[in-house]
C-alpha cells in the first residue's frame, strides 16, 4: 500500500468530535467504474501505490482504506448561500472517506463528490455529472500550477448512469470524484453549531481545527483558542482572496459553506478564469447581481469571515474578533502584492506595493489577456512589443528595472501561455461528449503540469 518513498500513514481523527458532526452513510452502487483521471503524483505523496483494481475498489466502490475510517461520514453544516441562511444543507452528495498524512506530515482528507444520496440530499440524486468532474479536475490542476492553495482532484471515475440536469443537455453521463483536501471543516460547520447555540461543540471544534488542521497545540483557555483560530483563518482567507485575483480566477459560489477554515480553495461548480482584468466578470449564470464577480471576491470572503466571527462570539470576546476583522483588508493587500509578484516571477524588495500597483494598472488596460501579460513579462523582462506601448506598461517597465530574473525553464521560451478559459474547457468537453475522445483532456493536464513545473522551478525568493 505504501510508496517506496512515502509510507502510507492512516490517521483517522474525526471520530474525536463525535456523531454530532456527521452521519454514517452508504456509497452508491454504480453500474460501472471507468477510470478517467488518477492523480498518481499526489497518491505517491500520501503513500498510496495502487494497482488498477485497488483504485477502483477504494475510489469508486469506496471500500475503506486499511486502518482508516471504517464508515463513510456525511458531514453536517449550514451556510449562507448568496447571503441567505440555509439550515437544510450538509454533505448532500459526498462523504469523508479517509484521513491520512502526506510527505510533509500534514493531516489530509479524502472526500467524495457524487457518491450517492445522504440525509442532506433533499430532492437531489446525490450524483455528479461527468462534465462537472472533468471541470473540477481542470480547475484544481490549473490552480495548483498557479500557486493557489487548492484541494487536489485525486480520482475521477465514470460510473455508467444517465443523469437528468436542467443546466446540461440531458441525459448526461455520470461520475464520482474524490478530492484530497486539507480538511473539510467549513465556516458553515461552525454556523450550524451556532444556530443550535451549541457552545460546547464550538469549543471542541476550535480545538480540533487548531490541533489537526493548523498543527498547533490548543491551550486550556477556550476563549484564547477561539481567537487564535480566528486569526489563523483570517490570514489564510486573505491569502486565498489574493491568490484568486493573481490567478485571474472566479470561483463563482463563495457561499460560507464553500469556505474551508484552512483557507484552501475547494468545491468547484460554475468556475471560470477571466481572460481580462475585469472586476465585473462573473462565472455563475445565476449570479444575477455579480455578488461573486472577479473583483468582489475579497469582499465576499471577508463577509464570510464575519459570519465565522459571529459564531465564535459564543465562546470568546467580541472585541478581539472585531480587531482581527478590521485588520483583514491590510492582510489582503499584503497578500495580493506577494501573489502578483510571485506570479510575475520577481524577487521581493523595496517598492513592492508600487510595483504591484503598476502591474494592476497594466492588467487593467486589457491590452492583452491576464495570462499573456504574466507570460510575456515573466521574470521582469520587458518584451518590447507594440502591444505594450501604452503609458501603464511603460511605467511598469520602469518599475521593473533592476528586478529582472532570467527564467531557465523551456516553458518560458514557448509561443504563449497555458490558459484555461471557457472556450478551451468547452472544447475539451465537446471532444469527450461527442467522440469519447480523452486526448485533449489528457494533453491539457500535461500542459498545465508543465507550466506548474516552470512556475516552481523559476519561482522567486520569498
Write the CA distances from 75 to 144, 299, 370, integer angstroms: 25, 27, 38
The residues, ordered by sequence, that sit 6+ positions from 338 with a Cβ below 8 Å of its Cβ are: 242, 348
The b/e string for 373-390 (b: 16+ C-beta within 10 A; e otherwise) is: bbbbbbbbbbbeeeebee
pLDDT of residue 233: 99
| 409 pLDDT higher than 80 | yes
What is the pLDDT, as a whole number, of residue 1?
62
Q: Is 191 helix (H, G, I), strand (E, B) or coil?
A: helix
Residue with cell 462523504: 95
What's residue 4's pLDDT? 56
Among 68-72, 122-126, 188-192, name the one with the lowest average pLDDT: 122-126
- Distance between CA atoms of 343 and 370, rounded to whole angstroms? 11
Read off the pLDDT of each residue in 379-383 and give the average, rounded to a whole number. Answer: 95
pLDDT digits (tens, 9 = 90+) for 266-305: 999 999 999 999 999 999 999 999 999 999 999 999 999 9
Region 194-214 average pLDDT? 99
pLDDT for 134 equals: 99
Verify whether residue 382 is a known catalytic residue. Answer: no
* Whole-number percent of the chain with pLDDT over 70: 99
Confidence of residue 2 (pLDDT cuts 50, 70, 90): low
Angstrom distance (rounded) from CA 294 to CA 273: 9
**pLDDT-based confidence at 167, cuts 50/70/90?**
confident
Q: Which of 85-89, 125-129, 142-146, 404-408 has the least mean pLDDT?
A: 404-408
Q: What is the pLDDT of residues 413-424, one digit of tens each?
A: 999 999 999 999
The pLDDT tens digits for 230-256 are 999 999 999 999 999 999 999 999 999
To the nearest whole number, what is the mean pLDDT of the chain?
97
Could you tell me what percent of the chain has a pLDDT over 90?
Answer: 97
pTM, to two decimals = 0.97
Note whether 254 and 297 are within 8 A (CB).
Answer: yes
- List 222, 257, 304, 367, catalytic entry: 257
Distance in angstroms (rounded) separating the CA atoms of residues 164 and 232: 41
CB 172 within 8 A of CB 125: no
Is the per-residue pLDDT at 3 higher than 80? Answer: no
Amino acid at each position: 500500500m505504501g510508496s517506496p518513498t512515502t509510507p502510507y500513514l492512516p490517521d483517522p481523527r474525526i471520530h474525536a468530535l463525535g456523531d454530532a458532526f456527521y452521519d454514517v452513510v452508504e456509497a452508491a452502487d454504480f453500474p460501472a467504474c471507468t477510470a478517467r483521471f488518477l492523480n498518481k503524483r499526489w497518491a505517491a505523496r500520501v503513500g498510496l501505490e495502487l494497482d488498477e483494481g485497488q483504485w477502483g475498489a477504494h475510489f469508486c466502490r469506496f471500500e475503506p482504506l486499511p486502518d482508516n475510517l471504517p464508515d463513510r461520514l456525511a458531514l453536517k453544516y449550514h451556510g449562507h448561500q448568496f447571503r441567505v441562511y440555509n439550515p437544510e444543507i450538509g454533505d448532500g452528495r459526498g462523504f469523508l472517506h479517509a484521513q491520512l498524512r502526506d510527505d510533509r506530515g500534514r493531516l489530509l482528507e479524502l472526500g467524495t463528490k457524487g457518491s450517492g444520496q445522504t440525509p442532506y440530499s433533499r430532492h437531489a440524486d446525490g450524483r455528479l455529472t461527468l462534465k462537472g468532474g472533468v471541470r473540477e479536475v481542470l480547475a484544481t490542476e490549473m490552480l495548483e500550477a498557479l500557486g493557489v492553495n487548492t484541494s487536489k482532484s485525486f480520482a475521477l471515475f465514470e460510473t455508467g448512469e444517465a443523469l437528468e440536469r436542467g443546466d446540461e443537455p440531458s441525459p448526461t453521463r455520470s461520475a464520482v470524484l474524490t478530492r484530497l483536501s486539507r480538511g473539510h471543516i467549513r465556516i458553515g460547520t461552525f454556523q450550524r453549531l451556532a444556530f443550535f447555540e451549541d457552545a460546547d461543540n464550538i469549543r471542541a471544534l476550535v480545538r480540533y481545527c487548531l490541533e489537526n488542521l493548523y498543527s498547533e497545540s490548543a491551550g486550556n483557555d477556550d476563549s484564547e483558542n477561539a481567537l487564535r483560530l480566528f486569526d489563523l483563518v483570517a490570514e489564510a482567507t486573505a491569502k486565498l482572496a489574493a491568490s484568486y485575483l493573481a490567478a485571474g480566477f472566479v470561483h463563482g459560489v463563495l457561499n460560507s459553506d464553500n469556505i474551508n477554515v484552512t483557507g484552501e480553495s475547494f468545491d468547484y461548480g460554475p468556475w471560470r478564469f477571466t481572460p481580462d482584468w475585469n472586476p465585473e466578470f462573473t462565472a455563475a449564470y445565476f449570479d444575477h447581481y455579480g455578488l461573486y464577480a472577479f473583483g468582489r471576491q475579497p469582499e465576499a470572503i471577508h463577509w464570510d469571515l464575519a459570519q465565522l466571527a459571529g459564531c465564535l462570539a459564543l465562546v470568546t470576546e467580541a472585541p478581539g474578533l472585531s480587531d482581527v476583522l478590521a485588520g483583514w483588508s491590510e492582510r489582503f493587500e499584503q497578500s495580493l502584492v506577494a501573489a502578483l509578484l510571485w506570479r510575475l516571477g520577481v524577487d521581493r524588495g523595496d517598492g513592492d506595493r508600487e510595483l504591484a500597483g503598476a502591474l494592476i494598472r497594466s492588467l487593467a488596460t486589457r491590452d492583452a489577456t491576464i495570462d499573456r501579460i504574466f507570460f510575456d513579462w515573466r521574470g521582469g523582462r520587458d518584451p518590447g512589443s507594440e502591444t505594450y506601448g501604452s503609458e501603464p506598461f511603460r511605467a511598469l517597465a520602469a518599475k521593473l528595472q533592476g528586478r529582472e530574473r532570467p527564467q531557465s525553464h523551456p516553458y518560458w521560451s514557448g509561443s504563449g501561455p497555458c490558459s484555461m478559459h471557457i472556450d478551451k474547457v468547452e472544447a475539451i468537453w465537446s471532444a469527450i461528449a461527442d467522440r469519447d475522445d480523452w486526448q485533449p483532456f489528457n494533453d491539457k493536464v500535461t500542459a498545465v503540469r508543465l507550466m506548474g513545473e516552470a512556475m516552481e522551478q523559476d519561482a522567486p525568493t520569498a
